[in-house]
Chain A
């Protein structure tokens, strides 16, 4: 096991280096210059000398390899540096929005779990009946419906519904409040994006619950449990479901790491000031340092999640370590 862990951790290094190279050079291929954008934003005539000064200050005139070394060194000592656009530390910029995105991510996961596990169980127990077809259609629709459109429809539905029943249209608040200050206001804003993201996210977990449970239901010990006269409810809940949840939990964990990508679009629709929106802004502003930091964080989370899942499986199934 020890050998396997070391091997697996060493395999992470080339992936992270590769991602760093890729993001660094990809960004520098994107046309546009942050200094021109910044100075154009002030509305004044952009003086070439001033642009030059700005580029010097940001280190954009250094040799490209020097810039790359700076970026990698910064990442190694966990110093992400400053945003090129606002000049504030990147950790500060991320910290501002982290709470919101994390809360939406947790709420979406919660929504996904309460949708997917009951539906997956029903679908497996009623395999190949019309109930199964309805549940499967519902979950595949979750992947098929674009999340931005679902967002628009939720907002539109809220407007029409409140107009009809309360007499005046109501929109979720735009300003973020901490759940500790005003739980009602906080939930009123964030529950909608969480439902939109969570539904999409539940699709994979529902299918996983269904297929894992179907597999377990074919096992001998399930037949034994039924043969000794246990109620079907107990057979499913206590014997089958418990043993089929492992792959489901794994899928939910992996999807959680991917939520950052999913939030990019959802935050745009609901106009939330979260990490997804920060990412879009940083790309549009040519803010190299911020984009690099965000991408590297996403990649690191992804690689780390994969590592944990692999180790967990190796721990459960010794055959994997020796192959």
Chain B
């Protein structure tokens, strides 16, 4: 007599029900999206660096130590020190905190406001949609960096204002993309059904339409994190962003790094690599996410 378990094993039924082990899933993903997995690894490493910054580094990122001024890379200071004697590696590790904080705050706030506005614009349609689209046009026509400069000049510099400056230009960009997907959802009968049931506009927008535009929303969100990190670095480099002594990558490239570029090139090289790698990681991850979630949006 054949045991029941053997029959199951033979029919391959077990395999269908059983979930694949995680390492197999990872392997498959790596084979299919090698760049995306690389991006995800960079993002995870960056988050870990930011969380465990104080454990990983023996130095203080903000305290001056003039006896170690402009030390070249070596055993004590792996990536050298800056003109105030601060360890570059420590400031890069702590800089990941600033970058991720600014990146995620801007992306979350900007994409969420854009999501609600974009869906509402598609849902109400008509005159509201027309006027709203013209307002978005105006904000889109402003080059991103110019918009950010104006906001920072008004509200002043500092981390919080940098977040405002970067978030404002993100809103219309997200609203535009979300609106175009929401327009097609509006035509699906369940929205009419919800209206016939007498649900409020808020409920229909938030409970019935928003969950169905999650794919473009998530894609915009990851793209925004990378863009926000890059913009924060550019603003800080121009002196309009995060201020000393907060460790921030763009700030590390300003002033001293350019002045001592020839005699102490490590000051200019490493923070730039950190910015590039971080943005690169988020972009690769976002691209793979887009391919998985919605291949139609390839041109974004």
Report which A residues bind B (CB closer than 8 A). 11, 14-15, 18-19, 22, 26-27, 29-31, 133, 136-137, 140-141, 143-146, 148-149, 152-153, 155-156, 159-160, 169, 208, 211, 247, 258, 260-261, 264-265, 268, 279-280, 283, 295, 298-299, 302-303
Contact = CB atoms under 8 A, between A and B. Distances in A.
Contacts of B234: 146, 148, 265
A205 to B, nearest CB: 12
A264 B257 CA distance: 20
A153 B262 CA distance: 11
B238 A144 contact: no
Interface in B228-285: 230, 233-234, 237-238, 250, 253, 257-258, 261-262, 265, 268-269, 271-272, 275-280, 283-284
Nearest to B137: A15
B284 A140 contact: yes
Contacts of A260: 143
Given A146-B230, A265-B234, A141 B138 contact: no
B249 to A, nearest CB: 9
Given A137-B35, A265-B234, A299-B142, A30 B279 contact: no
Contact of A146 (B154, B258, B275): B275
Given A15-B134, A149-B272, A140 B283 contact: yes
B143 A261 contact: yes
Main secondary structure of the interface of B (DSSP, over half): helix
Given A152-B258, A208-B299, A279-B146, A144 B141 contact: no
Interface in B158-206: none
B253 A149 contact: yes
Nearest to B268: A152
B269 A261 contact: no
A11 B130 CA distance: 10
Interface in B52-103: none
Closest 9 CB pairs of A and B: A261-B143, A18-B138, A149-B272, A144-B279, A144-B280, A15-B137, A145-B276, A14-B134, A299-B141
A30 B153 CA distance: 6
Contacts of A283: 149-150, 153
A302 B141 contact: yes
A135 to B, nearest CB: 11
A280 B233 CA distance: 17
A22 B138 contact: yes
Contacts of B134: 11, 14-15, 18
Interface string B124-144: 000000000011011101111
A261 B233 contact: no
A20 B261 CA distance: 41
Contacts of B216: none
A127 to B, nearest CB: 13
Contacts of B280: 137, 140-141, 144
Contacts of A258: 143
Contact of B142 (A19, A133, A265): A19
Contacts of B142: 19, 22, 295, 298-299
A152 B143 contact: no
Contacts of A160: 262, 265
B298 interface: yes
Contacts of A145: 272, 275-276, 279
Contacts of A140: 280, 283-284, 287
Contacts of B230: 143-144, 146
A146 B143 contact: no
B154 A26 contact: yes
Contacts of B269: 153
A137 B280 CA distance: 8
B226 interface: yes
Given A156-B261, A208-B299, A265-B145, A18 B150 contact: no
Contacts of A247: 299
A186 B218 CA distance: 46
Contacts of A133: 34-35
A140 B272 CA distance: 16
A282 B279 CA distance: 31
Contacts of A303: 137, 141
A247 B86 CA distance: 49
A136 B283 CA distance: 11
